[in-house]
Chain A
Amino acid sequence: MPAYHFRSCLILTALLLSGTTRAAADELLPADRAFAEVIDHYVDQKLTKAKVTPAPQADDATFVRRLYLDLAGRIPTPSEVREYIGSTDPQKRTKLIAELVASPEFIRHNATEFDVFLRNENSDISPQAGVRGYLIAAFKESRPWDQMFRDLIGVSDSPHPDKPETYVIRRLKDREALTRDISSVFFGLNISCAQCHRHPFIKSVTQDYFIGMREFFAMSYDFQGNLLDRRFQKPAEDMAKKDSKGKKDGKDKKEETAKKVETMPVKLMFLNGQTVEREDEPAEDPAKAFLEESKAIEQLGKTYAKEKKLPQQPKFRARVKLAEFALQHENRDMFAQAMVNRLWYRLYGYGLVMRIDQMHAKNPPSHPELLGWLTRDFIAHKYDLKRLIAGLVSSKAYSRSSQWKEDSPPAPELFAVGSIRPLMPAQWAVSFGIANNPELILGRDKPLEAREKAIISLENPGLQSHIAFPRDDMPIQIVESMRLSNDAGLNSIIGKQLLPMLKKAGDRKAQITQAMWAVLSRPPTVAEYELFERHLEARKDSPDAGLQQMVWVLINSSEFRFNH
């Protein structure tokens, strides 16, 4: 095949895989426009085309609750809601976003969210074995996403004390899962189909792609909790010799030839089909070099506790090359847009590309120019996560009501109506704590450390364990409702601190109003007030029980359980 023809095949495949159906740069809105303007421009454009009238904007109380849950991982206190509703400052939304993005809650909430998505539902990694400690530190210093990527695959210039590279170390025992997780999480493309057969939609993605991506980690190993690389590969002839021990003659030769064919070095291949040059360490006798290195590693392992000496590292490290290659100008779109899409999915309930781990040209985004603009902005601002998140929640599209008054709901990719998303266990636990006692939250005038401590005390892991972990379309299980209905311990803490406050509130109207504000962050409607008034009237002989049941109803309402 002529060289140029081969090259053009590669380029074509590269384009197919990079999924940049994003329009040429001159078609995008200018880079200096505000996020809100850009997002609403493209979303409204598509709505107009589809002749769909979007839902109206959510009311202030609903919007504030949504914003607090998305940025701070908790419901707002009644006074926080009232402050926002009462403010006449035309910039109040922008200011609230800025305030929340600078809060200690923002750091912890994002550490939780990122920890979950980094885990990629890998069932071999226990929920406790995440990298949350590192993530908290990273968000505290507003670490850019490309640096975090380098930290997590262990190629950062300065190793981090919280050991982010344990992300890879924990996955070394299952290289296929590691390959799948890295590809899905950082590049938005799960190619594990290609482990066994070619990709169903992209015909040119064969097993080479999977093997090529996996190869970036082939030499990596765990040395006493450090992520290191071997200098020499285990020679395959070695394995052939082992196998042929004690077998009949004729068979030996066939097996040895077969093994020789397999020893051709595996290509390093990035997800866009580009191969990456490798420079293995030269060795006269590779088998011997490998054995000697293994011996050295074993020796150093024995003395490590005292001497802390690490085995010699190769000059060429494939993981380093992966980071370099993936972040290079021609290739970095894949990396950038994967995060853009993932954050959009998290905040809008539906990605610009769905499934979020199938970003390729045969699965185009619903709003290609929008994805393109956001990706370009993310790269231009050095992968600043705070900026991106703050930008995504500034649009009208984000703040639409989640109620759809007409019969047939609009297609989700139109973003015509606000999304309904179940709370994560951590969000629920902290919000539960606040609903029971809003005074546990310290105001913004208090020192950061004290505010952080207050939040940490509400992140009750025991409480979190009762709440189902949300996944796409996954129904909420009855175990959760059973426990909340029947578990003695849970039932005794629901409303425990709130009840004394309600009793002090005065008449029933005040009690109902205060309970609604505390749990659902809004005042009751007339109908709701009447419903609870009747209930409390029927319970007037045991008013405490009546109040407690009312609080139980509010805590177990769908409205509390969901971000809406």
Chain B
Amino acid sequence: MLHPTKRFCGSPEHVLSRRAFFGSTAGMLAGSTLGLNALAAPALADQMQRNQKSAILIFLGGGMSQFETWDPKPGTSTGGPFQSIQTSVPGVRISELMPLMATRLRRHTAIIRSLSTVDLAHSGVNLLGGERTDVRGVKAPTLGSILAKELSHPDSVVPDHVAFFNTKNGANFLDSAGFIGSRYEPTNIFSRLTPEANSLPPSITDADHRERATLRDQFNQGFLAGRQRDSVLSSHNTAYGRVRGLMASDSLFDITREPQRVRDRYGATLFGQQALVARRLVEGGVPFVKLLRGWWDTHTDNFDVHAQLVPDLDRVMSTLLDDLEDRGLLRNTLVITFSEMGRTPIINPARGRDHWGKCWSVTLSGCGIKPGVVYGSTNEGGTDVAEGKVTAVEYFATIFSALGIDHQKEYHAPDGRPVAITPYNTRAVTEVLA
């Protein structure tokens, strides 16, 4: 029974399920501490990766157009100039701008064409929170932080949550850990490939740095004696213990360790290179990586801009999926595409499309997903959902389920209130789950 002073609501509305109580421990215990050696020893990596799950979120910032990607409507008044092409899934066509993904749909990817959201204001943060209205007054964690927490191992020395941005500014698109603890805050990396704080300060050598940490640990033991009862105190000490380990994870971010042909495949763009780092991180046991690729907000010249950005996405995404598959990682890695909204069917006078939440597309590939499935549909002009409307939290529930996480699992907010990771009674889209 929960301790009475911790428990806040015993009301029937917040009944804890047994499953929620037992969290998902299955994948976590396989030594993520080995992550750093894994890249040098592929066999070891294979054994380790069998259990460790990860997620990569490709967030298309600004609002990517579903017409020019996953749900084309050629030949209609809303369809725009591009054609559609046949994919490896019979009867399913996507934009001609994505030939590489077209051939990979059947092997890797499920599409949801009926995502329907409300917020039209570039508030990535709101979307990363699932547009929830049931968590008022509480700083609930966003999608990335929840995944980081659920998929990480407590003793891990690699970062739990890394986010890459291809712009200097990503303020509207930051994940936050909220009340689940700052360990799951993202390491945000803007316009570069490596984090900033990990390197030695110039004033000290690596050997001295290590010795200093050891000296500190030795000195600290005296104070810790007779004070083990306090968890915050222990966490302070552990935080220093993890520093050296985290610094060692610097090698994961170093793409010069990859053969040139691999780097070439991902392409010389920042987005491509960041995706390559993402693969290395996942391979090294990092549970969650976000790649924020901007900027898709095409109020003008929608077609010209998408003609540039979509093939780039096509190339990077297909390379990433192939690469993960080749290394045996894809079955334990979920690759998610998401955005803060879609774009309007109506083409405005500036040859652009504007903000649109009513019906747009997202995709899921890899771990726990049934590839080749298209769930939901839009009507002929793409002006409304025809079948299978999916909300943001239902999408999240699907993501959690694909990774073996109970999507009704409960956390407890600082005021004691239970907060489930998706609102009560949210259902996952089981049709896309393996």
Residue ranges of A at the interface with B (Cβ–Cβ < 8 Å): 121-123, 174, 176-177, 180, 190, 192-193, 196-198, 200-201, 354-355, 357-358, 363, 402-405, 409, 420, 422, 468, 470-483, 485-488, 491-492, 525, 527-528, 531, 535, 545, 549-550, 552-554, 556-559, 561-562, 564
* 25 pairs, CB–CB < 8 Å, chain A vs chain B: A355-B416, A404-B226, A404-B229, A409-B229, A468-B182, A473-B232, A474-B232, A475-B181, A475-B232, A478-B246, A480-B239, A481-B240, A481-B243, A482-B198, A486-B243, A525-B222, A528-B222, A531-B218, A531-B219, A535-B215, A545-B204, A550-B215, A553-B212, A553-B215, A553-B216
CB distance from B178 to the nearest CB of A (A): 8
Given contacts A471-B414, A488-B203, contact A420 B9 (CB under 8 A): no
Q: Are B216's CB and A177's CB within 8 A?
A: no
Which chain B residues (213-268) contact chain A, with CB distance < 8 Å?
Answer: 213, 215-216, 218-220, 222-227, 229-233, 235-240, 242-243, 246-247
Q: Which of B185, B224, B230, B247 has the most CB of A within 10 A?
A: B230
List the A residue with the shortest CB-CB distance to B180.
Answer: A474
Q: Which residues of A contact B411 (CB under 8 A)?
A: none
Task: Give Cα A177–Cα B185 distance, bound, in whole angstroms.
Answer: 25
Smallest beta-carbon distance B272→chain A, Å: 28
B137 touches A420 (CB 8 A): no
Q: Is the CB of B201 within 8 A of A487?
A: yes
Query: Are B203 and A193 in contact, with the CB atoms below 8 A?
Result: no
Which 7 interchain pairs have the tightest Cβ spacing?
Answer: A475-B235, A403-B226, A477-B182, A409-B229, A481-B239, A488-B201, A559-B223
* Interface pair A558/B212, CB less than 8 Å apart: no
Task: Give CA–CA (A180, B416) in the complex, Å.
Answer: 14
Contact of B136 with A by CB under 8 A: yes
Residues of chain A within 8 A (CB-CB) of B199 are 486
- Residue B17 at the A interface, CB < 8 A? no
Select A528's contact among B185, B219, B238, B416, beta carbons within 8 Å. Answer: B219
Q: Which of B123-137 contact A (CB under 8 A)?
A: 136-137
Q: Tally B residues with Cβ within 8 Å of A.
A: 58
Per-residue contact bits, chain B 149-184, to A (CB 8 Å; 1 contact, 0 not): 000000000000000000000000000000001110
Is B331 part of the binding interface, using a Cβ–Cβ cutoff of 8 Å?
A: no
Asked whether, in the complex, the Cβ of A545 is within 8 Å of the Cβ of B208, the reply is yes
A197-B13, A487-B197 are known contacts. Are A556 and B240 too (CB-CB below 8 A)? Answer: yes
When distances are taken between beta carbons in the complex, the residues of chain A under 8 Å from B227 are: 402-404, 420, 564
B203–A422 CB distance below 8 A: no
CB pair B226 A470 closer than 8 Å = no
Task: Please list the residues of chain B having a beta carbon within 8 angstroms of any beta carbon in chain A.
Answer: 4-5, 8-11, 13, 136-139, 181-183, 185, 197-204, 208-209, 211-213, 215-216, 218-220, 222-227, 229-233, 235-240, 242-243, 246-247, 414-417
Is B232 within 8 A of A422, CB to CB? yes
Q: Which residues of B contact A180 (CB under 8 A)?
A: 137
* Interface pair B213/A201, CB less than 8 Å apart: no
- The answer to whether A485 and B209 have CB atoms under 8 Å apart is yes
List, in ascending order, chain B residues with CB within 8 A of A553's CB.
212, 215-216, 219
Q: B229 — which chain A residues lie within 8 A by C-beta?
A: 404, 409
- Distance A354 CA – B4 CA, assembled complex (angstroms): 10
Query: Is B247 a contact of A486 with CB atoms below 8 Å?
Result: yes
**Smallest distance from the beta carbon of A200 to chain B beta carbons, Å?**
4
Q: Cβ of A363: which chain B residues have Cβ within 8 Å of it?
A: 4-5
Q: Is the CB of B212 within 8 A of A552?
A: yes
Residues A475 and B185 in contact, CB atoms below 8 Å apart: no
Contact of B237 among A357, A558, A564 (CB under 8 A): A558
Q: How far is the CA of A475 from the CA of B240 in the complex (A)?
A: 12
User: By the criterion CB–CB under 8 Å, are B243 and A557 in contact?
Assistant: no
Which residue from B183, B211, B219 sits with its C-beta under 8 Å from A478?
B183
| Residues in chain A near residue B137, CB distance under 8 A | 122, 176-177, 180, 192
A-B contact count (CB 8 A): 158
Known: A358-B416, A557-B223, A558-B223. 17 other contacts (CB 8 A): A177-B136, A358-B8, A403-B225, A472-B414, A480-B239, A481-B236, A482-B197, A485-B243, A486-B199, A486-B200, A491-B201, A491-B204, A527-B222, A550-B215, A556-B216, A556-B240, A558-B224
Set B198, B222, B242: member contacting A481, Cβ < 8 A:
B242
Nearest-CB distance from B138 to chain A (Å)? Answer: 8
Q: How far is the CA of A557 from the CA of B215 in the complex (A)?
A: 10
Question: Once bound together, how far apart are the Cα atoms of A322 and B319, in whole Å?
Answer: 65
* C-alpha gap A354/B3 in the complex (Å): 11
CB nearest neighbor in B for A422 = B232
Report the bound CA distance from A561 to B227 in whole Å.
14
Complex Cα–Cα for A355 and B3 (A): 12
Q: How far is the CA of A198 from the CA of B14 in the complex (A)?
A: 12
Q: Are B139 and A123 in contact (CB under 8 A)?
A: yes
Q: Complex Cα distance A364/B59, Å? A: 49
Name the CB-closest residue of A to B231: A473
Pick the contact of B240 from A468, A479, A485, A527 — CB < 8 Å? A485
Closest approach, in angstroms, between the C-beta of A122 and any C-beta of chain B?
A: 8
Whole-angstrom distance from the CB of A67 to the nearest CB of chain B?
19
Instruction: Tell me how far the C-beta of B98 lies from the nearest C-beta in chain A, rounded to whole angstroms.
Output: 39
A479 touches B212 (CB 8 A): no
Whether A479 lies near B136 (C-beta < 8 A) is: no
- Provide the residues of chain A in CB contact with B181, threshold 8 Å: 474-475, 477
CA of A460 to CA of B201, assembled, Å? 22
A192 near B233 with CB under 8 A, answer: no
Assembly CA distance A486 to B232 (angstroms): 22
Contact A557 B9 (CB under 8 A): no
Neighbouring B residues of A485 by C-beta, 8 Å = 209, 213, 240, 243
A546, closest chain B residue (CB): B208
Shortest C-beta distance, B123 to chain A (Å), equals 14
A288 nearest CB across to chain B (Å): 35
| Complexed CA–CA distance, A564 and B211 (Å) | 27
A354 in contact with B5 given A487-B201, A557-B216 (CB within 8 Å): yes
Given contacts A363-B5, A481-B239, A558-B237, contact A486 B198 (CB under 8 A): yes
Task: Note all chain A residues with C-beta closer than 8 A to B138.
Answer: 123
| Alpha-carbon distance between A420 and B182 when the two chains are bound, in angstroms | 21
From residue A175, how far is it (CB to closest CB) to chain B in Å? 11
By beta carbon, the residue of chain A nearest B184 is: A477
Instruction: For B415, give its contact among A192, A404, A492, A557 (CB under 8 Å).
Output: A192
Q: In the assembly, what is the distance between CA of A358 and CA of B414, in Å?
A: 13
Q: Smallest distance from the beta carbon of A26 to chain B beta carbons, Å? A: 30
Q: Which residues of A lie under 8 Å from residue B218 when comparing CB positions?
A: 531
| Residues A549 and B223 in contact, CB atoms below 8 Å apart | no
B139: chain A residues within 8 A (beta carbon): 121, 123
- CA of A523 to CA of B219, assembled, Å: 14
Compute how far the CA of A200 lies from the CA of B246 in the bound complex, rounded to whole angstroms.
44
How many Å from the CB of B206 to the closest CB on chain A? 11
Chain A proximity of B421: nearest CB distance (Å): 18
B116 to chain A, nearest CB (A): 24
The answer for the CA separation of A122 and B246 in the assembled complex, in Å, is: 32
Enumerate chain A residues within 8 angstroms of B203, measured Cβ to Cβ: 488, 491-492
Residue from A123, A479, A491 in contact with B182 in the complex, judged by beta carbons closer than 8 Å: A479
Judging by beta carbons under 8 Å apart, are B11 and A193 in contact? yes
A485, closest chain B residue (CB):
B243
Task: Chain A residues near B215: list those with CB within 8 A.
Answer: 531, 535, 549-550, 553
